[in-house]
Every structure is written in structure tokens, then in C-alpha cells.
């Protein structure tokens, strides 16, 4: 089969708009909270521990190799190696690969089933966790990890070729580690071929969409402005709960825009309640809502910093769970802007390329969810990242360029950096 060479040009248009020039922020992006917190510190988001690692379920040991730090190997574009890697990888055998159990700390003893997507960090029974986000996990290819979970054990009976639950769980975990940590099974490992098949199928499917938020939520998740009062935030609770307990950190809560009807900390409010936050001296504040909520599969749990260790393994939910959950929204009492990332695909082979993924980092932190462009797309698509403080340096990086075994992608340099400023734009 002849090789198709795709020639398309990449254009990234970055437009920064001062917050003062934005009348309505229709869909603010989620704001990343760095994790973990220093040893012995309270949770970085101020939320109580929601889940505690309590043991392991189905699974078994695996043998393999992990990519070295300086290795440029990309799981999505290069796929699963057919043989054992000889350079750029180091041997790494894992005593357990499989389902991890977590127990809710709300008194219900609800058991959660999770997988690790952070092979080089440890966890153990007793480590405390709070609900996090894909962004805050700071793990690459989490959208492909989610696609594994959408289609394989325990969400489905796949891989059906394996009948032992321990093997199924270990194979799924090994496929997750391939995307998150560039971990490859030894060809002598009995699960090698099954895992290779899972990976190929998932790459063909493309990246999964971010998970739905818990059934308790605050919208928008970020508001910014130059005044001392920001709002409204709307608290919504559904499913197991019709109300939520609300708390603010760094601000006072009110039922009105004039900040005359104060809401005491810990008040339980009905679903649909609107809340305004009044600044109490800090440049940022946090609004929290706590309720019994359903947390959909593919949400992540992150170490809450309360066990006296510097870090703990990031975990991703393998099946929906119902437990007392705290969600956050952020108020930024500062001037902010918006970053618009635009991608244009043209050329004779446009539409034959694979999926494209673009990441945005501002101030060194991943911002929002990945900008995923499905395989076969043509023309121009864009994604807007809101509520970025003016003066923040942002880097836009195309981590997957759509190259496949039959399509070679030629493009301009795939990284662009810019500082968010007032009424300024840049295109390349």
C-alpha cells in the first residue's frame, strides 16, 4: 500500500481579552488546583477527606518495561510495541496490577472500584483522597485512559478472551499504564497480546470526553472580575440529594448581588440556590457544596495531603459510585483574560489523519480539559480557555499531531507560548 503524505499547515491563533471587556463569561474553564500539598498540610482545596484507599480487588502481577524519562516515545502515535524494547526503556515488574478499593469516609462504607494511572507513585490502605479533576491529576493521555475504562472490565466483560477476573483486571490496568506511564508488558507475559489488542482498539476509538460531574455541582466553576462581589454561582443537587451544605473559604456568602442577605457557613440550601461571594481580603475564594452525590465513572481521586507523606498515587474511578461529595467553584477577584486556541487542517490528505490532542499550560499548570480534535476533521476548530489571570504565561503544545501509519503530518513548530494580556492577539 502506498504511503499517503499529508501536507497541512497548523495555525494557532491566541487571543487574549481583558476581563473588563467581557460582559458575560458563558462557559468558564475549570481551574487547576496543584496536588499534592506538603506533608502534614490540610487538603489543598480545603475539602474534607472523601475516600480512603482500603485494599485491592481483582488483579495479579505483571512483568514489563517502562520508558525512560528522556525517551520521546508517544503511546498514541506509535502504538504498542510488537517486541520487547531494547533502548529507551528500563525493566519494571509490578507485583500487583488490578482493581483498587476505596471506602467512603461519610459513614456509609460505600466501596469504590478504581484503577491506578500513576505507576511510579505508591498508595496503601489508609491514604486519604478527595475528588479531583483530570487537569489537577497532571497525568498525560487521561482521555485515552478513560476510553479504556469505558469499554473494559469492570464496566463491561471485555476482554472476553480472558475468563479469570484477576487476568481481566490486570490486563486493563496494564493498558491504562501504557497510556499514562508508557509501560509495556514483556512479550513473555501471558497478558501481552491481550493488552496490545486493547491498546490498538482504544487508539482506533480516539480519546474519550471528560466525565460528567457529580450529581451535586456548582455552575459556573469559575467566575472572575475586578469588584469585591462575584456571582451568581448556582448550586444544583440531584439524584440521592435535593439540597447541599455550602461553605466559602476566603469570602462571605450571600443570597443577593447587593450582599445584604448573608448565608452562614454550613447552611443547607435547596437545589437551584444562587450564591454571591463577597471578598474578605484574598484575591481568590472557594465556594464548596457538599451532598450525597453520584460520582460518574472516569472522575479522579487525588491525595488530600493529610497523611504526612509528600505524594500518593492518583486513582481513577472504574464504575459510578454514590457517596458524600464536596465540589468546588472558584471566585477570582482579579483581572483575567481568555485564551483561544485555533487549529486549521488543510492539504491534499486533510481528513485522513488521526486524532489530534492539544494541551494548554498557564503558569506551569494544565488548564482545562485537553483540546481533542477527532480523527478525520478538516477546516478550523477552536477551544476557549477562560479566567486566566492577566500576566500569566501560557504554553500551547500539540501532544498528538494526527500522524498515522499511512499519513505523515508536516506542520509548523507544535508549541507556542504567549503571555495573557489586555486586548492583544497572536497568530502563527
Which regions of 135-242 does DSSP assign to beta strands (E)?
183-185, 216-219, 222-224, 229-237
CB 217 within 8 A of CB 96: no
Domain boundaries, the chain: 4-18+335-427, 51-205
The number of angstroms, rounded, from the C-alpha of 386 to the middle of its chain's C-alpha atoms is 17
pLDDT at 97: 98
Class in CATH terms, 4-18+335-427: mainly beta
**Which helix H or strand E contains 198, and what residues bound it?**
helix 192-205
pLDDT at 415: 61
Low-confidence ranges of the chain (pLDDT < 50): 1-45, 413, 422-428
pLDDT at 13: 40
d(CA 420, CA 391): 5
d(CA 291, CA 396): 36
The number of angstroms, rounded, from the C-alpha of 388 to the middle of its chain's C-alpha atoms is 18
Q: Give just the sign of the alpha carbon dihedral 34, 38, 43, 45.
A: negative
d(CA 68, CA 96): 21
pLDDT at 41: 29
pLDDT at 114: 98
Backbone phi and psi for residue 173, each to the nearest 5 degrees, phi listed first: -60, -40
DSSP string covering 242-271, please? Answer: SEEEEEEESEEEESSTTS-SEE-TTEEEET
d(CA 346, CA 9): 6
Looking at the DSSP bridge assignments, the partners of residue 55 are: 101
pLDDT at 24: 24
Amino acid at each position: 500500500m502506498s504511503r499517503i503524505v499529508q501536507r497541512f499547515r497548523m495555525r494557532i491563533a491566541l487571543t487574549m481579552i481583558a476581563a473588563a471587556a467581557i460582559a458575560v463569561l458563558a462557559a468558564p474553564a475549570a481551574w487547576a488546583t496543584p496536588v499534592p500539598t506538603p506533608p502534614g498540610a490540610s487538603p489543598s482545596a480545603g475539602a474534607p477527606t472523601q475516600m480512603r484507599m482500603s485494599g485491592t480487588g481483582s488483579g495479579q502481577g505483571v512483568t514489563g518495561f517502562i520508558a525512560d524519562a528522556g525517551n520521546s516515545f508517544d503511546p498514541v502515535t506509535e502504538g504498542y510495541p510488537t517486541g520487547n524494547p531494547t533502548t529507551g526503556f528500563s525493566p519494571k515488574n509490578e507485583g500487583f496490577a488490578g482493581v483498587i478499593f476505596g471506602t467512603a469516609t461519610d459513614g456509609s462504607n460505600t466501596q469504590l472500584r478504581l484503577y491506578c494511572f500513576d505507576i511510579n507513585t505508591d498508595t496503601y490502605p489508609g491514604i486519604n483522597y478527595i475528588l479531583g479533576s483530570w487537569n489537577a491529576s497532571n497525568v498525560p493521555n487521561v482521555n485515552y485512559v478513560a476510553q479504556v475504562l469505558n469499554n473494559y472490565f469492570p464496566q463491561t466483560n471485555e476482554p472476553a478472551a480472558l475468563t479469570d477476573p484477576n487476568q481481566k483486571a490486570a490486563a486493563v490496568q496494564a493498558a491504562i499504564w501504557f497510556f499514562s506511564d508508557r509501560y509495556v508488558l514483556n512479550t513473555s507475559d501471558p497478558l501481552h497480546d491481550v493488552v496490545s489488542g486493547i491498546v490498538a482498539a482504544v487508539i482506533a476509538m480516539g480519546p474519550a470526553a471528560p466525565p460528567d460531574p457529580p450529581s451535586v455541582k456548582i455552575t459556573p466553576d469559575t467566575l472572575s472580575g475586578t469588584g469585591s462581589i462575584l456571582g451568581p454561582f448556582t448550586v444544583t443537587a440531584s439524584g440521592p440529594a435535593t439540597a447541599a451544605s455550602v461553605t466559602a473559604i476566603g469570602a462571605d456568602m450571600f443570597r443577593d448581588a447587593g450582599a445584604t442577605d448573608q448565608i452562614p457557613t454550613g447552611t443547607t440550601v435547596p437545589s437551584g440556590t444562587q450564591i454571591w461571594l463577597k471578598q474578605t481580603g484574598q484575591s481568590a475564594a472557594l465556594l464548596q457544596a457538599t451532598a450525597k452525590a453520584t460520582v460518574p465513572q472516569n472522575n479522579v481521586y487525588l491525595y488530600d495531603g493529610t497523611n504526612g507523606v509528600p505524594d500518593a498515587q492518583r486513582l481513577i474511578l472504574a464504575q459510578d459510585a454514590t457517596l458524600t461529595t464536596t465540589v468546588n467553584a472558584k471566585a477570582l477577584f482579579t483581572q483575567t483574560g481568555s485564551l483561544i486556541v485555533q487549529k486549521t487542517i488543510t492539504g491534499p490528505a486533510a481528513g485522513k489523519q488521526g486524532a489530534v490532542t492539544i494541551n494548554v499550560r498557564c503558569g506551569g499548570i494544565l488548564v482545562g480539559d485537553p483540546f481533542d480534535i477527532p480523527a478525520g476533521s478538516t477546516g478550523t476548530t477552536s477551544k476557549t480557555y477562560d479566567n486566566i489571570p492577566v500576566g500569566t504565561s501560557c504554553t500551547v503544545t500539540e501532544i498528538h499531531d494526527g500522524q498515522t501509519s499511512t499519513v505523515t503530518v508536516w506542520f509548523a513548530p507544535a508549541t507556542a507560548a504567549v503571555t495573557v494580556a489586555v486586548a492583544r492577539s497572536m497568530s502563527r
